[in-house]
Amino acid sequence: MKLIDKNSRIPLYLQLMDILIDRMENELGENGQLPSEREICEHYDVSRTTVRQAINELERDGFIYKVHGKGTFVAPKRVEQNLIKFYSFTEEMKKLGKVPVSKVFSFDIIEADRKIAEKLSLPAGSRVYQFSRLRLADNIPMMFETSFVPYDLFPGMTKEDLESTALYDIFKNRFQTTIVMAEELFMPVMTGVKEMELLQMSPSIPSLRIERFTHGEDRLIEYTNTIARGDKFKYHVRLEN
């Protein structure tokens, strides 16, 4: 068993984090319960402050989560999303052996306001679909998306279509529309109250906001604003020199 080395130059809380990560991986497993702060203090002979600092860092890094009145638990591992080629939530979750589900929360045909029209390079007032979807993997809510799609390119799409078929399959199979590439913009955000409820998140966890601009052969065919749970994903890029 690893022990704290009080003569080391490595701060005690970092040593403790390292030990706890080791135990979580090898002994406790996903959703396993951590010992109490007091037990950790006694077991490793460190101060309450050190334990709190280690626990706070672990929570912040998404290794653990707290359940009010119950204790502290090992967070399930994050899904690693490669940002190297075009991906769809449905396909990515299937690759991981998870069952993807989309719940369509709203589905409307609207006139694009200036902001949305600009995002899709359309004249303001153009007809667009606006739909919101909650995406789940193995029944766990993972992200909440609001999408805007030009109506004229994909006439006659219904809420039922979206509930039964992946959006990109509708584009490809029903409308013979090829996706050339997508651009995405990422930024960390505080999770809004609505998204926190829908995604069943604890309040201290931020999200990643992802804007996706999907390009067809000669036009933008989708603008989606996604709130992805900050504790469920990590994103991977490869930067060639």
Q: Return the range that interacts with a copy of itself (CB under 8 A); candidates 36-44, 54-62, 69-77, 131-139.
A: 54-62
Among 28, 37, 73, 87, binds a copy of itself (CB under 8 A): 87
> CB 106: neighbour CB atoms within 10 A?
10
Cα distance between residue 121 and residue 5, in whole Å: 60
Mapping DSSP to helix (H, G, I), strand (E, B) and coil, where does residue 221 land?
strand
Among 46, 208, 220, 221, binds a copy of itself (CB under 8 A): 208
State in angstroms the smallest separation of the CB of 20 from a copy of itself.
11
- Which of residues 101 and 122 has its CB atom nearest to a copy of itself in the complex? 122
* Count of residues in the chain: 241
> CB 187: neighbour CB atoms within 10 A?
9
- Residue type (1 letter), 10: I
Among 10, 67, 96, 99, binds a copy of itself (CB under 8 A): 10
CA-closest candidate to residue 101, choices 162, 156, 172, 147: 162
Cα dihedral sign, 175-177-183-184: positive
CA-closest candidate to residue 77, choices 240, 235, 233: 233
For residue 201, report the phi and psi dihedrals to the nearest 5 degrees.
-100, 155
**Does 1 participate in binding a copy of itself (rule CB under 8 A)?**
no
- Which of residues 136 and 196 has its CB atom nearest to a copy of itself in the complex? 196
DSSP-derived letter for residue 63 is S
State in angstroms the smallest separation of the CB of 29 from a copy of itself.
19
**Does 151 participate in binding a copy of itself (rule CB under 8 A)?**
no
- Which of residues 39 and 118 has its CB atom nearest to a copy of itself in the complex? 118
**Does 185 participate in binding a copy of itself (rule CB under 8 A)?**
yes
Footprint of a copy of itself (CB under 8 A): 9-10, 14-15, 18, 21-22, 56-57, 60-62, 78, 80, 83-87, 108, 110, 113-115, 178-190, 192, 204-209, 230, 233-241
